Amino acid sequence: MYKISIKDNTQYLIPFIEGIKYYGSNDLEQGGGTMMILNDKGDVLTCAHIANEFIVNDNLAKSYSQFIQDIKLSKNKEQRRQIEKKYGIKKDTPVLTHIDLPLDIQEELTFDITFHEYLDLALIRFKGIKTERDKYPIFSKEFPEQGQSVCKLGYAFPEFDIFKYSNDLDNIVIKEDGIRNFPVFPLDGIVTRGIVDEHNNLSMFETSTPGLRGQSGGPIFGPDGIVYGIQSMTVHLDLNFDVNKTVKRGIENKKVNFTPFINLGVGISSTEIINFLEKNNIEFLKK
């Protein structure tokens, strides 16, 4: 049912790729999300919590550089502890990030970010890149209906390993022989409920399947490929089906304790996306 629409909607997607170093460890966490190219001008739509990582990246680089300078001037462990306290840095605090984007960069890459006033939605205007695609997202002018079949698409379970920490540079760098494989992962379900936001607007909707890590920022579309929203987050609802039983496993009794939750996705509706893009004079497709 989704074979053609998955292929079409994949064409305008790009992965957001990030390496994160934590204080006290040289091992890196590698993660990311999904971004939608809207047109050939370099305008990209994603979630605000993903776009915010560009700001976090710049802020961490500046604060960590100053932190290292102060640490080098410390004369004993107590002074070092005071400096760590001053900067709010302790074990497992993220101190460095490195963002890599698989974009066709024509010149120096610059960008501007516009955040929605309160929804998890952001527009990134890249400059100096080539973004021509055969397909771009087509956003629905209608709010999705309860029971409607939809599919989420994004870079869940990425198969990449491109970052490493350089002791010499005290920074995250790109591996020359790093693995770069970004297969998209689709997950279908139905629209379960509409969701009213903090301003009492029907701006979001719930889906019967969760948004997986890496799918944030990706499209939620119908069998015809029309985009009804952007994957924002996953909620975990308590089923109140607590289990505390002794069960038989082979010839032995086994104690089972289980508190199940249902994991559901939350998307921001295309109607809100259209309003946001039109407000910012962005070229895009709608139907």
What is the pLDDT at residue 229? 98
What is the pLDDT at residue 266? 98
Give the chain's residues under pLDDT 70.
104-108
d(CA 133, CA 9) in angstroms, rounded, equals 11
Domain ranges of the chain: 3-286
d(CA 36, CA 47) in angstroms, rounded, equals 10
What is the pLDDT at residue 228? 98
What is the pLDDT at residue 106? 59
What is the pLDDT at residue 131? 82
Q: Which CATH number fits domain 3-286: 2.70.150.10, 2.40.10.120, 3.40.605.10, 3.90.550.10?
A: 2.40.10.120
| Strands (DSSP E) found in 81-226 | 94-100, 104-115, 122-130, 138-139, 149-154, 159-166, 171-181, 185-196, 202-207, 219-221
106-143 per-position pLDDT tens digit: 566 788 999 999 999 999 998 877 788 989 999 999 99
